[in-house]
Chains A and B, each alone.
Chain A
């Protein structure tokens, strides 16, 4: 990896037409509390930039405490693995805490299945938001780009607010945006792998030119992965396994919450350029001179 890998983030901040930054753009300093920097997806404002998933939690109780610790305002739920009317289900936990439900099409292998699942979700949950997943292969769980674009187009035409789970491919991300997706959600690495962001440069490329929020979806393993995503210009992070399969999910959720906040602040602050040699942090000018300039010390 070259040394300049993501230093260009610095240059992005002032002039990127990033709709997600909202009212506050550029370097506004510490006065900008998180509340003044909302995440805007499809016209909806969210304060938290951490979107959670529910898969993999050892119990509903652990999941609930992790969700609360994460501070999330939106959580994705697999429609195929859920009966919305069951009392005491994950949905009732989300509703009890006022967390927005983002139905997803996990487990779908074709555009047709995904569209059908999204329609069922709209009917069952009364939301036209959908996290669109069309999986190509059960071993890697990588998205099928052809089916994904097809399904995205259909769903956008039907009035859905579509958030597609996609490869970290800048071209595909642009095409998804072009058909009208409300966000693009590239994977950092395969679902549940915890391998982090394998191609940070692609994330930069996607975030640079996207006019919709870019959301890291899949791959985060620990807090630094989430912070890196935000530093690269992502508008939000979506994760599940990193929290739900951690030894102590509640603690990891709190860690992720802080990481997303930290990464976002660092991104907005604008990082310093990387240098090869040191540069003293205390100013060298105007310091007192020791010794008599008329009589320089020998040696």
Chain B
């Protein structure tokens, strides 16, 4: 059993379970801080990143009620250029970071009305986006369908190639001296109320002072983790297609990422510099199933065709399905779990690629100091621990939301924190299950 560069001094300081983007970046950053790290994964650099499109889109991914997540996503997007520069310099490989911007298009009047609401929300959150008419949309992206009625131009939402990113992180880890064990974790080991490492699928036990659970959609089902520490993470299946755009053409097929909601389902087209066009993605709650279905491919192509009719002329190079690790509130679980010695870096859902740099920083800091940095307190795993079934809307929440463009923009989130805690343990002023009095 090749054990790579396992330091002679015995156990590693940190065992990272899962060698996807999140596990690898955690290992790399922790090693840079002087920790000895082992990563357990049968094929490091794989995971959900093999399928993900790699949109770095804090603005166009903004949803109502996810303002805390927005702050983390925005910080992650800001961190990307420096992160990519360091990684590319360290490894000598390119990761396909492309500052191409994004266009969110509306295909009919209903879509346009909805997109205008999104636009208002973005502006309230202090985000830069510009409304374009249908004609203006086609001026910047001539391949768009004539039915496009308008759209939002977001010049700050970029992309990276997650496969290249994964490969680069493997190289960076190897060069930094991370021990890559090519086996999955079978069971967490616990002694004296503390995580002590894990038994791997090759039956070997790795002991470590701290263990990081970063196995994506499998994080919620590792044997040996006590129920109270098990992260509430479930798989959300996404089918994704890869097409080839003509190379060498004088005018590129698409310049920027293009996305839309077609009949209620989201579709996006992400053009890579090397000619790959990623079309995604379905969102299916079907457990760990990764079957590519006729219906999934049909619906993606149908919706993509409605948005960019020319896609049907392109070669279909690849189909695949991946599993997003989703938490109940769509935000990641970062830092110490309820079990001493076990840390979580999981639940990144749609934003794993985007959150890779910031997760690495936060976890490395937590591993060295023992505490999750205050600026990421909103993403501590214990937010799911309390039973909140008795909580109703608080008075503060009962105020109607601002809906008008004319209102002064909300201040952007405070720079020192990624987000406020989404649900402080507020007194339940109005129990929601109280019987109504007629």
B264 is an interface residue with CB less than 8 A from chain A: yes
Complex Cα gap A248–B388 (Å)? 18
CB distance from B401 to the nearest CB of A (A): 5
B287 is an interface residue with CB less than 8 A from chain A: yes
Chain A residues whose CB sits within 8 angstroms of the CB of B398 once the complex forms: 251
Complex Cα gap A86–B326 (Å)? 12
Chain A residues whose CB sits within 8 angstroms of the CB of B388 once the complex forms: 65
| Contacts A30-B438, A58-B66, A60-B326; A247 near B401 (Cβ below 8 A) | yes
CB distance from B13 to the nearest CB of A (A): 31
Interface contact B63-A58, CB-CB below 8 Å: yes
A116 is an interface residue with CB less than 8 A from chain B: no
Chain A residues whose CB sits within 8 angstroms of the CB of B389 once the complex forms: 68, 97
Task: Please name 16 further chain A to chain B contacts, defined as beta carbons within 8 Å, in addition to the given A61-B330, A81-B286, sorted by A numbering.
Answer: A33-B438, A35-B435, A59-B326, A60-B328, A61-B327, A62-B329, A81-B284, A83-B289, A88-B328, A89-B285, A247-B64, A248-B397, A248-B401, A249-B65, A251-B398, A265-B438
Chain B residues whose CB sits within 8 angstroms of the CB of A81 once the complex forms: 284-286
Complex Cα gap A65–B66 (Å)? 15
CB distance from B67 to the nearest CB of A (A): 12
B433 is an interface residue with CB less than 8 A from chain A: yes
B177 is an interface residue with CB less than 8 A from chain A: no
Name the residue of chain A whose CB is nearest to the CB of B286. Answer: A83
A181-206, CB < 8 A from B: 192
Name the residue of chain B whose CB is nearest to the CB of A83. Answer: B287
B266-306, CB < 8 A from A: 284-289
Contact code string A65-82 (vs B, CB < 8 Å = 1, else 0): 100110100000000011
Interface contact B397-A68, CB-CB below 8 Å: no
| Contacts A81-B285, A138-B263; A261 near B436 (Cβ below 8 A) | yes
Chain B residues whose CB sits within 8 angstroms of the CB of A82 once the complex forms: 285-286
Name the residue of chain B whose CB is nearest to the CB of A60. Answer: B328
A binding-site residues for B, Cβ under 8 Å? 30, 32-35, 56, 58-62, 64-65, 68-69, 71, 81-83, 85-90, 97, 138-139, 192, 247-251, 254, 257-258, 261, 265
Complex Cα gap A258–B64 (Å)? 23
Could you say which of B65, B66, B433 contacts A248, with CB atoms under 8 Å apart? B65
B252 is an interface residue with CB less than 8 A from chain A: no
Chain A residues whose CB sits within 8 angstroms of the CB of B326 once the complex forms: 59-60
| Contacts A248-B401, A250-B393, A251-B398; A59 near B330 (Cβ below 8 A) | yes
B377-409, CB < 8 A from A: 388-389, 391-393, 397-398, 401, 403
Complex Cα gap A70–B244 (Å)? 48
Q: Which 6 A-B pairs have the closest CB atoms?
A: A83-B287, A88-B234, A61-B328, A61-B329, A86-B287, A59-B330
Chain B residues whose CB sits within 8 angstroms of the CB of A247 once the complex forms: 64-65, 401, 403
Chain B residues whose CB sits within 8 angstroms of the CB of A58 once the complex forms: 63-66, 330
Interface contact B392-A34, CB-CB below 8 Å: no
| Contacts A86-B235, A247-B401, A261-B438; A69 near B393 (Cβ below 8 A) | yes
Could you say which of B64, B232, B433, B436 contacts A88, with CB atoms under 8 Å apart? B232
CB distance from B171 to the nearest CB of A (A): 34
Complex Cα gap A159–B263 (Å)? 35
B334 is an interface residue with CB less than 8 A from chain A: no
CB distance from A199 to the nearest CB of B (A): 21
Could you say which of A34, A56, A64, A138 contacts B438, with CB atoms under 8 Å apart? A34
B50-66, CB < 8 A from A: 63-66
Complex Cα gap A296–B327 (Å)? 83
Name the residue of chain B whose CB is nearest to the CB of A96. Answer: B389
B220 is an interface residue with CB less than 8 A from chain A: yes
CB distance from A71 to the nearest CB of B (A): 7
CB distance from A100 to the nearest CB of B (A): 16
Complex Cα gap A134–B339 (Å)? 49
Q: Which of A68, A90, A249 has the most CB of B within 10 A?
A: A68
User: Can you identify 19 A-B contacts, CB atoms within 8 angstroms?
Assistant: A33-B438, A34-B436, A56-B264, A58-B64, A58-B66, A60-B234, A60-B328, A68-B433, A83-B287, A86-B286, A86-B287, A88-B232, A247-B401, A247-B403, A248-B65, A250-B397, A251-B397, A254-B392, A254-B393
Chain A residues whose CB sits within 8 angstroms of the CB of B264 once the complex forms: 56, 192
Complex Cα gap A89–B397 (Å)? 26
Complex Cα gap A60–B65 (Å)? 13
B233 is an interface residue with CB less than 8 A from chain A: yes
Complex Cα gap A249–B64 (Å)? 9
Interface contact A69-B435, CB-CB below 8 Å: no
CB distance from A25 to the nearest CB of B (A): 16
Name the residue of chain A whose CB is nearest to the CB of B329. Answer: A61
CB distance from B8 to the nearest CB of A (A): 41
